Structure 1
Amino acid sequence: MARAWDAIVIGGGHNGLVCAAYLARAGLDVLVLERRGVLGGASVTEEPWPGYRVSTLAYLCSLLQERIIRELELARFGYHVYAKDPAFFTPFPDGRHLLFWQDQRRTCEEIARFSRRDAEAYPRYEAFLERLARFAERMLLRTPPDLARSGLRDYLELGRLGLDFLHMDDAERIGHLRIFTQSVADFLAPWFESEEVKVTLATDGVIGTNGGPRTPGTAYVLLHHVMGKVNGHRGLWGFVRGGMGGVAAALAGAAQAAGATLRTEAPVARVLVTQGRASGVVLGNGEEIRGRIVVSGADPKRTFLHLVEASHLPEEFLTAVRNIRMEGCSMKINLALDGLPSFRALPGSTLLPHHRTTIHLCPSIDYIERAWDEAKYGHPSTQPMLEITIPTSYDDSLAPPGKHIMNIFLQYTPYRLREGNWHQLKESYADRVLALVEEYAPGFRNLVLHRQVISPLDLEETYGLTGGNIFHGEMAVDQLFFLRPVPGWAQYRTPLRGLYLCGSGTHPGGGVMGAPGYNAAREILRDLRRRRV
């Protein structure tokens, strides 16, 4: 008789691995099935050119929950993060530049070159944002209450949230109401007068988002990106040793140490259903694998519209899934360089502090808004917003001696184009992007040895991200918390008994965070204890 598993996890992305590790630690016999030849999902290190190890998609780490890092002992499996310092470098067309450092005093000195008022406001802004982040952070590892099919537990959780809200002071309560509804531009406007300061901070509000800095709701995306920590320091981001595949490797090590079995090149074609409950999966080659529980780390649309036959799900639920906004607007360009770029604003091709930052090429709020204006009508931005990192400035093991890797994450490149398709357009569009970098760093294009261009269509076809959306669904207020993925099903369970979700399409959403996988494992184990599976 074929082996039957306690739990089968579809997808070896970081959330799937987190979920598998916790289930295995609880004594379950767990199998992870990853369709690609490498684990990690969007958190991978690959070798597109000999000798160069590239974080193909995700490129920085901060949001991975400290509790997960500690409990799974990820350091024992090689996990290490180099905290960025300085944090940001924004060069401007007029030759000026702005650096943000870990040391707040040094950052304020930089800001004072643009506005003394803003330099005085910045410490208060940071303190206020930290207070907001502390409250939001407490919700990351909590299961949202169900407002559609409420029970006693849901009312208790709502009461708990209400008490937390009442314990805030007035400014903090108002701040939370505003940050969930305002645009990032409106959120920053009362704090700062300098356009240069505002645009440097506003970029975190639009990353991966179908919206410009003046789009309501983008202030929350800013908060989402400052909730993380590196080595205990809130708000910092860093480079994972060995690339982002180092996250997946450590999680895989923890899962295997707990007894989980991991298989790659094992694409799941559909979920098996027996007598109204999930009972296993069928692989692309026809192999059937039985399991008591099936957990999908794929996005909700891929799970419910492709892996489960429609007859097993309520039509109302399927309609809600179809209506999830899940089209991306981002492109990733990975480059192998023959050396470091020299910027007009800070010349020098030896390793300098600004090479170790996140480099923003977007001189104003209006610049980003114009880029979004084009994209919302189906046209790639003529002048996109670029976020650039050079991971070899911290980890020289990623490239041959004297060579470097550059990651360019850019917006806006809409998944659904008004004209043409991304397979035809991506290389010519990448030429335009490199020409834009050249404007800030003369001679840059002569440094490029190899390039890899990943369009929204590639994100879908190669990496399984429906619509090319890096978050498994937009991070808008109507698709968050108890509304994620759809109302009534925000607690990792699904209408099909025995089938659960653990990916970023569930609360608390996207980013290399691990919280959805952690929360899903907790709910699965609760159901097993109560014999509800």
Structure 2
Amino acid sequence: MPAASAETFSRSVYDAVIVGGGHNGLVAAAYLARAGRSVLVLERLGNTGGAAVSTRPFAGVDARLSRYSYLVSLLPQRIVRDLGLSFSVRKRTVSSYTPLVRDGRATGLLVGGDRTRESFADLTGSDREYEAWEAFYGMTGRLAERIFPTLTEPLPTRDELRERVGDETAWRMLFEEPIGTAIEENFSHDLVRGVVLTDALIGTFADAHDPSLVQNRCFLYHVIGGGTGDWDVPVGGMGALTDALAGAARGAGAEIATGHEAIRIETDGETAEVAFRTDDGEGTVAARKVLVNASPQALSALLGEEPPPPAEGAQLKVNMLLRRLPRLRDHAVDPRRAFSGTFHIAEGYGQLATAYAQAASGRLPEAPPSEIYCHSLTDPSILGPELAAQGYQTLTLFGLHTPARLFAAAPDATRDALLKATLAELDAHLDEPITDCLALDEAGQPCIEAKTPLDLERDLRLPGGHIFHRDLAFPYADDSTGRWGVETAHANVLLCGAGAVRGGGVSGIPGHNAAMAALGR
């Protein structure tokens, strides 16, 4: 194979080579370049952004969707300010809506705005569940205020974090006992319990009482973002963030080479050589430090080392473009309110337990749980002017409890069956089938696409389709972590992807922390 030209690179040795141009790699590149370091980013794809991109997935349709990652909670404003990013988010007016059919009548729980207490009372017949909700999320809010600032500091020990939390009851509920225990102690209504549990299951295949507490770790990261736990809408779509990050990195002097796939890292602990592949052949570049914005599995492969245990994702991601929002069977709620927050489907506590048990036994859930939201209600800028004027809307659906193993034998047929069953669960709460509302692309095909864990593994190299690269870790140090949670066995090789301690989600935190470690701070 001919040698790929490295003449386009400005240096023969860089202070830092960053493998992967996803959002964390771009954060690290921007910080290091702003600190005066020479930086080269090698990105396999023809564009930066990784899973945090905006694309037009439907041919001939001017709608720019956040194709994979879609909401922002964990991105610290500190990173936005430090890097001078032209990027903003908007609050959603409603937190969630969960439909329910009771005694043959369509109703539901609306959380957010001035109807929350009334909605709880209508559902449960008293104020008790509402008061329990307020107390429980008051507790998680206090934890968020105390824990979130630590995510961009050197890792605290477990005892240090426990002292910082300063609430032994909260510590027991979230750090020591399965989250199912806390949910059952605090709430009595099945639907309310299910809404609380969903934050423990996003991208995580687990039962509420899993003794590993992987569900607790997932729950924690879903309620501490920004010190509030709010999940906000990125203005312009997720690609607006990564475009701003790429601009900040380049503006600070970093070089970004797309179409360059890293294939090997060799290091003696002081200097390293990164081999890469392009359409023209292979080449190498030298660096004092290498930051890897990829999974721990990919890092091991690059170093030629034994891989960590396999990871497995467990979600269905569906993107839709509608000509209009569907009518609801619950006529008391405007669809624009119901879909502006998180619209929960088949996510009662018992339903989630049943879906988990069925998937764990090797079957697709009969009533697949999922949640939906409408980006364009909060931020219509992702739609072309004509679509916006005609009332078009986007829907993002995220399904739970669908582990990668279920798709192994027949990926396409299983995906189609799951999508059909998922949409049927949604239709049960609509006055018209969702398919009647779908827009059509230039070929007359419905504007809907579905991505399984195997699709994410193929498209984005997410191991097993795991959106966090591996199971999340509690945000404190143990014997296997370094000062920042990004260190590896090699002094000059750092992990800056979602698989780092305090990784996962669109946060930039691993990128920030790897940059701080590289700078010796």
TM normalised by structure 2 equals: 0.87
Deviation, structure 1 residue 84:
0.9
Deviation, structure 1 residue 432:
2.0
Whole-Å separation in 1 of the counterparts to 2:26 and 2:81: 15
1:45 and 2:23 aligned? no
Whole-Å separation in 2 of the counterparts to 1:343 and 1:118: 25
Deviation, structure 1 residue 81:
0.8
1:379 and 2:363 aligned? yes
Segments of 5+ residues of structure 1 without an aligned counterpart are: 145-156, 311-317, 528-533
Pick from 359, 362, 375 the counterpart of residue 346 of structure 2.
362
Q: Deviations over 1:367-407 (max 9, x none)?
A: 01111112223332221111101111122232323222211
1:126 and 2:110 aligned? no
Whole-Å separation in 2 of the counterparts to 1:38 and 1:391: 23
Pick from 230, 237, 244 the counterpart of residue 236 of structure 1.
230
Match of 2:241 in 1: 247
Q: Which amino acid aligns with 2:146?
A: F
Query: Could you tell me whether the CA contact under 8 Å between 1:271 and 1:282 is conserved in 2?
Result: no
Cα 1:89–1:80 shift into 2, 3 Å: same
Match of 1:417 in 2: 406
Whole-Å separation in 2 of the counterparts to 1:20 and 1:451: 35
Whole-Å separation in 2 of the counterparts to 1:526 and 1:211: 38
Match of 1:153 in 2: none
* Residues 49-448 of structure 1 mapped to structure 2, 5 A cutoff: 49=58, 50-74=61-85, 77=86, 79-94=87-102, 95-101=106-112, 103=113, 106-113=115-122, 114=124, 115-144=126-155, 158=157, 162=159, 165-166=162-163, 169=166, 172-216=167-211, 217=213, 218-229=215-226, 234-273=228-267, 277-284=271-278, 285-304=281-300, 306-310=301-305, 318=306, 321-323=307-309, 325-346=310-331, 352-399=336-383, 400-401=387-388, 402-417=391-406, 420-441=409-430, 442-448=432-438
Deviation, structure 1 residue 143:
2.9
Whole-Å separation in 2 of the counterparts to 1:187 and 1:212: 14
Deviation, structure 1 residue 451:
1.3
Q: Deviations over 1:334-370 (max 9, x none)?
A: 112121111212478x862222111110242010111
Cα 1:488–1:28 shift into 2, 3 Å: closer
Q: Which amino acid aligns with 1:181?
A: E
Deviation, structure 1 residue 46:
1.0
Query: Could you tell me whether the CA contact under 8 Å between 2:295 and 2:469 is conserved in 1?
Result: yes
Whole-Å separation in 2 of the counterparts to 1:237 and 1:374: 30
Whole-Å separation in 2 of the counterparts to 1:88 and 1:389: 9
Q: Secondary structure at the match of 1:290?
A: strand
Whole-Å separation in 2 of the counterparts to 1:214 and 1:162: 24
Whole-Å separation in 2 of the counterparts to 1:282 and 1:493: 23
Query: Could you tell me whether the CA contact under 8 Å between 1:199 and 1:362 is conserved in 2?
Result: no
Q: Secondary structure at the match of 2:57?
A: strand
Q: Which amino acid aligns with 2:426?
A: V
Cα 1:386–1:297 shift into 2, 3 Å: same
Whole-Å separation in 2 of the counterparts to 1:346 and 1:34: 49
Segments of 5+ residues of structure 2 without an aligned counterpart are: 1-5, 439-445
Query: Could you tell me whether the CA contact under 8 Å between 1:118 and 1:193 is conserved in 2?
Result: yes
Deviation, structure 1 residue 117:
0.9
Query: Could you tell me whether the CA contact under 8 Å between 1:299 and 1:466 is conserved in 2?
Result: yes
Whole-Å separation in 2 of the counterparts to 1:96 and 1:188: 23
Match of 1:150 in 2: none
Query: Could you tell me whether the CA contact under 8 Å between 1:140 and 1:507 is conserved in 2?
Result: no
Deviation, structure 1 residue 289:
2.2
Q: Deviations over 1:94-124 (max 9, x none)?
A: 31111111x5x64233222223112223332
Q: Percent identity?
A: 31
Match of 2:27 in 1: 18
Deviation, structure 1 residue 518:
0.8
Q: Which amino acid aligns with 1:266?
A: H
TM normalised by structure 1 equals: 0.85
Q: Secondary structure at the match of 1:393?
A: helix
Cα 1:518–1:346 shift into 2, 3 Å: farther
Whole-Å separation in 2 of the counterparts to 1:346 and 1:131: 36
Whole-Å separation in 2 of the counterparts to 1:212 and 1:468: 19
Deviation, structure 1 residue 490:
6.7
Aligned residue-pair number: 488
Q: Which amino acid aligns with 2:395?
A: M
